[in-house]
Structure 1
Amino acid sequence: KQAVETILAHFGKIDVLAHLVGGFAGGQTVADTDDATFQRMLAMNLTSAFHILRAVLPPMRQAGSGRIIAIGSRAAENPGPSVGAYSASKAALVSLIRTVAIENKDLGITANVILPGTIDTPANRKDMPGGDTSQWVQPASIANLIVWLAGDGGKDVTGAAIPVYGRGL
């Protein structure tokens, strides 16, 4: 909330929220996932979004415009084994963003979530040394989509969960 107040004091309004906070922990079955890991996934991938949304929506509503873009995961719609806590937290994020889209559809605010597959980052390359990086999503692809959704091109897109899977279909 303090960050939003600082931005409003300096710029007068908030045009775009690109919520990029998130992460992965786990790698265990649901039966073997401890409470701390589950809570960590919810905190990183859902609660962080909830708090920033609650802070930016009032000034966006007052301005009569705004673009909200969050980063989810392919796992939100296509979960796999040993990623239950992560998948559940990202699926909840999709639901939260779609709810925000519905609640603000007549107020000039759009809300969408991008669902990337494995992103080609140094951390992922380190964690998955045998992965086929030619199939992974390039960060620039996600950045370009964020820019498009934030601009005039994305004005009629809201409530969408947009798959960006690279070549890893």
Structure 2
Amino acid sequence: MDVSFDFTDSVALVTGASGALGAAVCEAFADAGATVAAADVVAPDDGEAGLDTGRAIDFYRGDFTDEREVERVVSEVLADHGRLDCLANVAGTWKGGAPIENTDVETFETLFDVNLKTAFLASKHALAHLRERDGRGAIVSVSARSSLEGGEGDGPYRASKAGVRLLTETIAAENAGEVRANAVMPSVIDTPANREMMPDADHDAWVDPADIAEVVLFLCSDAASVTSGAAVPVYGEA
């Protein structure tokens, strides 16, 4: 069944926009009629997916681990477009491979900064503007299937993504009736970087970024008006 969404006259801010999933979310919003504010510390041409700016996608360079940068980008988006209807917290990274006693603090800090702090800061500075949308403002953040349990070798990653889930539930509770907040939980996403990292894996079982982007749009749409505080699996067979 084909499903379409209409985000005409809406403005969506997407973090991590130069990565494969972020670019897919930007393009899905643009295809649905939204004006997209695509934000990343990495320029589109240097990103993983080659984000296609133009076609209602405007790029804003900013480091979303820095609160001053987040304030600046959100202010620029409001100055340029006058409103904010949706926030997609896609910025994230993965590092692993060592047990806790062998994990350096820099790896721990990087994972919590990029995966959790970016979502916290973007949400913090977007919420006041999302509340102005009369109950239709929405936040969707990217958690992970692995956040549901502990595992060997990537504990800080799992913990940071569990934090995204709990942050989402907190925002939903604090803004009930005003702003909806939900999370999606991918497993392995079918990206060029993941294929290079795992060349012998079953790539056919991985989920295409465009399919996850459709779920993000659903959660931001009026079709999900009664859904808030949810963590939605988007891992298919992966």
TM-score normalised per structure 2: 0.68
Deviation of the 1:41 alpha carbon: 0.4
**Pairs within 5 Å for 1:72-83:** 72-83=143-154
* Cα separation, partners in 2 of 1:149 and 1:73, compared to 1, 3 Å: same
Residue 177 of structure 2 corresponds to 106
1:134 is aligned, of 204, 208, 212, to 204
Residue 93 of structure 1 corresponds to 164
Deviation of the 1:75 alpha carbon: 1.0
Find the aligned partners of 2:150 and 2:206 in 1 and give their Cα distance: 17
Residue 121 of structure 2 corresponds to 51
The AA in structure 1 aligned to 2:169 is: R
1:71 and 2:136 correspond: no
Q: Describe the SS at the equivalent of 2:177.
A: coil
Unaligned runs of 5+ in 2: 1-70
The AA in structure 1 aligned to 2:154 is: V
Unaligned runs of 5+ in 1: none
1:34 and 2:104 correspond: yes
Of residues 65-74 and 83-92 in structure 1, the stretch that sits farther from structure 2 once superposed is 65-74
Moved over 6 A (4+): none
Find the aligned partners of 2:180 and 2:114 in 1 and give their Cα distance: 22
Residue 21 of structure 1 corresponds to 91
Quote the RMSD (CA, aligned, Å): 1.1
Residue 131 of structure 2 corresponds to 61
* Cα separation, partners in 2 of 1:138 and 1:79, compared to 1, 3 Å: farther
Per-residue Cα deviation, 1:37-79 (whole angstroms, up to 9, x for no partner):
0000000100111111111011122443311001111111134
Deviation of the 1:10 alpha carbon: 2.1
Alpha-carbon contact 1:67-1:111 (below 8 Å) kept? yes
TM-score normalised per structure 1: 0.94
Alpha-carbon contact 1:67-1:110 (below 8 Å) kept? yes
- Structure with the higher fraction of residues in helix conformation: 1
The AA in structure 1 aligned to 2:78 is: L
The AA in structure 2 aligned to 1:46 is: L
Determine which structure has greater relative contact order: mean sequence separation of CA pairs < 8 Å that are 6+ residues apart, divided by chain length. Answer: 1
For this pair of structures, how many residues does the alignment match? Answer: 167
The AA in structure 2 aligned to 1:96 is: L
* Cα separation, partners in 2 of 1:61 and 1:43, compared to 1, 3 Å: same
Alpha-carbon contact 1:138-1:166 (below 8 Å) kept? no
The AA in structure 1 aligned to 2:141 is: A
Deviation of the 1:99 alpha carbon: 0.2
Q: Describe the SS at the equivalent of 1:18.
A: strand
